[in-house]
């Protein structure tokens, strides 16, 4: 186990809080359907908590939303599966960058690592889902799907890059934040009052 993992305990209350906040963000009225923080949250979740958490977060985010909006269908399993793959891939990607899973220097994985993975992952996700779901389930031609996918992917890229730059590092810090112990706060005060005690 590496030094970074020893410094914090996985807090699954934060995991469920992240799912709830992502769901609430997706219920914002008049929001473009591909402007949402799932990808930006999934990356630090995978990096901090590992493959199972990254995969579960990604799949549950899609599955719960589709269940709550009564849009559950075969496309749900394509999109949830694609996000699940990205959750697993993120663990591997950030391990190679020196993130939690590899034991490397955590400073090697930074906001630009999130941006790079957001670009690669968004292109993968949109190609896998956008160019298959329409032709397979809605009988669109491939060219029609491709023409509709281009502006969708551009907006998806812009939003995921912006969220990766701003949200992902903050979410990672939130996930690994170690609660301060009361003893650590009291010790300096006792030391000042009576240095012989400590």
2 against 86, higher pLDDT: 86
For 21-62, how does the pLDDT look when each residue is reduced to its tens digit (9 = 90+)?
A: 999 999 999 999 889 999 999 999 999 999 999 999 999 999
> pLDDT tier at 193 (50, 70, 90 boundaries)?
low
Give 127-142 as a DSSP string. HHHHTTHHHHHS---H
> pLDDT tier at 72 (50, 70, 90 boundaries)?
very high
| Entry field: residues in the chain | 198
The CATH classification number of 9-193 equals: 1.10.1760.20
Q: Cα separation of 51 and 111, whole Å?
A: 20
146 against 185, higher pLDDT: 146
For 127-142, how does the pLDDT look when each residue is reduced to its tens digit (9 = 90+)?
A: 999 888 888 877 888 8
Closest among 195, 171, 123, 149 to 15, alpha carbons compared: 171
Parse the chain into domains and list their residue ranges. 9-193
For 91-129, how does the pLDDT look when each residue is reduced to its tens digit (9 = 90+)?
A: 999 988 765 543 444 445 789 999 999 999 999 999 999
Q: How confident is the model at residue 1, as a pLDDT?
A: 37
Query: Mean pLDDT, the chain, as a whole number?
Result: 84
């Amino acid at each position: 186990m590496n030094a970074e993992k020893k410094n914090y305990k996985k807090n699954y209350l934060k995991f469920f809080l992240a799912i709830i906040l992502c769901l609430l963000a997706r219920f914002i009225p008049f929001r473009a359907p591909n402007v949402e923080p799932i990808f930006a949250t999934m990356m630090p979740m995978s990096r901090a908590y590992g493959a199972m958490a990254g995969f579960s977060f990604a799949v549950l985010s899609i599955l719960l939303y589709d269940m709550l909006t009564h849009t559950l269908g075969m496309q749900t399993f394509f999109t949830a599966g694609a996000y699940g793959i990205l959750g697993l891939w993120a663990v591997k990607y950030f391990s190679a960058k020196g993130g939690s899973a590899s034991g490397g220097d955590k400073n090697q994985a930074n906001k630009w690592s999130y941006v790079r993975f957001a670009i690669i992952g968004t292109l993968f996700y949109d190609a896998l889902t956008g160019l298959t779901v329409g032709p397979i389930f809605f009988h669109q031609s491939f060219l029609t799907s491709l023409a509709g996918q281009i502006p969708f992917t551009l907006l998806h890229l812009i939003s995921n890059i912006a969220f990766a730059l701003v949200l992902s590092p903050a979410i990672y810090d939130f996930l690994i934040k170690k609660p301060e112990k009361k003893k650590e706060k009291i010790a300096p005060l006792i030391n000042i009052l009576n240095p012989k005690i400590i």
